[in-house]
Amino acid sequence: MAGPVWAQSPAESALNAVQNLEVARVSLESADGRSNRIAALTQTVQAYEDGLAALRDGLRRAAIRQRTLETDLETRSDEIAHLLGVLQTMGRTPTPILLLHPNGPTGTARSGMILADVTPALQDKVTTLRTQLDEVAVLRGLQSDALSILENGLAGAQTARTALSAAIAERTDLPRRFSDDPTQTAILLASSETLQAFANGLTDTPTGDGPDASTIKGTVPLPVSGRVIRSFSEPDAAGISRPGVLIATPPRALVTTPVSATIRYAGPLLDYGNVVILEPAANVLWVFAGLDQVFGEVGQIVPDRAPIGLMGGIVTDAQGILTESVQGSAGELTETLYLEVRDRQSAIDPAQWFIFQ
């Protein structure tokens, strides 16, 4: 990347995103040859997600910029036509004749001085006009090429997700902190009417020593690409509050564990949909709820940045993304992941562990 997105022009931002998608494509092709295929595919999926998100933003900004330039050029059409007429007249007139004045040497000198003053300003207008026209051409070309780029990127992302799911299903290399007892879990599920009761039951179940992420408490990144839309215990539109935060994510977004942790539960839970509960430190549980697909087995110790699930939703097709971009809409954060942090028997503000940007 040549610099932060906010410092780049819309065209530069979109073109950099295209380059990132190409890097992701190459990464996908080489993933099979990597010793740690799951890690390689995880990076590939995230690269596709980042590239597609950046491309959507770049296309949206490019569409807005293109409309602004075209509107400006349209409103200045008379001025531009007059400027072109002057330039054509000057171009057809020989320079000596152009400088001669019928009032003789004094008039010629004065006209030369006036022309010397006017020419730089005229040149500045020509340069500005040429720059705007060139930028419009680049933006139009970007829009025309975007459909195939988006189609390839979306297809590559789906291929990478499918390959990642298959690789995780075949995984046998993760250490186990303890063996899962399906009967005990079933009894706990049947007797728990709330998430709090289920989490308390897990906390009360001894499992021995495990990972300890307490040293990085307060600096942990979010497990998914998205934006926090409801803070800790903030009531929703119906006035219902939950002791966690809600993160808006793109459809089919990959959810990973930010640190090494033990999987305490993975599967459907009450009305929360599919849930993954991780234990990053003694007596601390992270609850991730609302996933469409979960990865891993209870008792496994997963390394940091390991995939633990995928969000649901339907990915907008390439033509739909282009339409949204033209309309100036971002529109990709359609799914929600619920994140709750529990310390012993109490829910605490996830901001004590995670960084919310």
Name, in order, each residue with C-beta under 8 angstroms of 230's C-beta and a sequence gap of 6 or more: 236, 245, 246
Q: d(Cα 283, Cα 217) in Å, to the nearest integer?
A: 14
Residue whose structure tokens are 């009305």: 271
206 token code pair: 């001894």
Name, in order, each residue with C-beta under 8 angstroms of 176's C-beta and a sequence gap of 6 or more: 299, 300, 301
299 token code pair: 């008792």
Q: d(Cα 14, Cα 243) in Å, to the nearest integer?
A: 39
DSSP string over 220-260: BPPSSSSEEEE-TT---TTS---SSEEEEE-TT-EEEESS-
CB 211 within 8 Å of CB 260: yes
Tell me how crowded residue 35 is: count the other CB atoms within 10 A of its CB.
Answer: 6
Higher pLDDT pick, 187 / 287: 287
Which tens digits make up the pLDDT trace of 128-156?
Answer: 666 666 666 766 766 677 788 889 999 99
CB 192 within 8 Å of CB 270: yes
Helix (H/G/I), strand (E/B), else coil: 216: helix
Mean pLDDT of 25-41: 81
Name, in order, each residue with C-beta under 8 angstroms of 200's C-beta and a sequence gap of 6 or more: 345
Tell me how crowded residue 130 is: count the other CB atoms within 10 A of its CB.
Answer: 10
CB 28 within 8 Å of CB 44: yes
Question: Given phi > 0 = left and psi -120 to 50 = alpha, else beta, which region is 239?
Answer: left
Which tens digits make up the pLDDT trace of 333-352?
Answer: 889 999 999 998 899 999 99
CB 324 within 8 Å of CB 153: no
Helix axes 105-169, 10-30, angle to 10 degrees: 30
Mean pLDDT of 228-237: 90
pLDDT of residue 309: 96
pLDDT of residue 89: 61
CB 286 within 8 Å of CB 280: yes
Q: What single letter denotes the amino acid at residue 315?
A: V
Between 164-173, 295-304, 313-322, 328-337, the lowest mean confidence (pLDDT) is in 328-337
Q: d(Cα 317, Cα 205) in Å, to the nearest integer?
A: 46
Percent of the chain with pLDDT over 90: 37
Name, in order, each residue with C-beta under 8 angstroms of 64's C-beta and a sequence gap of 6 or more: 10, 328
Phi/psi for 164 (5° steps) reads: -65, -45
Between 82-86, 290-294, 348-352, the lowest mean confidence (pLDDT) is in 82-86
Q: What is the CA radius of gyration of the chain?
A: 30
pLDDT of residue 313: 93
The yes-or-no verdict on residue 162 having pLDDT over 70 is yes
Residue whose structure tokens are 């051409």: 137
Q: In what order do the strands lie in the sheet with 293-294?
A: 254-257, 306-310, 293-294
**Please, what's the largest Cα pairwise distance for the chain?**
110
Q: d(Cα 41, Cα 156) in Å, to the nearest integer?
A: 11
pTM for this prediction:
0.78
The yes-or-no verdict on residue 245 having pLDDT over 50 is yes
pLDDT of residue 34: 57
140 token code pair: 């139009």
pLDDT of residue 138: 67
pLDDT band at 203 (very low <50, low <70, confident <90, very high): confident
pLDDT of residue 2: 46
Name, in order, each residue with C-beta under 8 angstroms of 240's C-beta and a sequence gap of 6 or more: none
Decide: residue 170, CB within 10 A, 0-12 exposed, 13-18 middle, 19+ buried.
exposed
Structural domains present in the chain = 5-169 (no CATH), 182-352 (2.70.70.10)
CA atoms within 13 A of residue 67's CA, in its CB half-sphere: 9
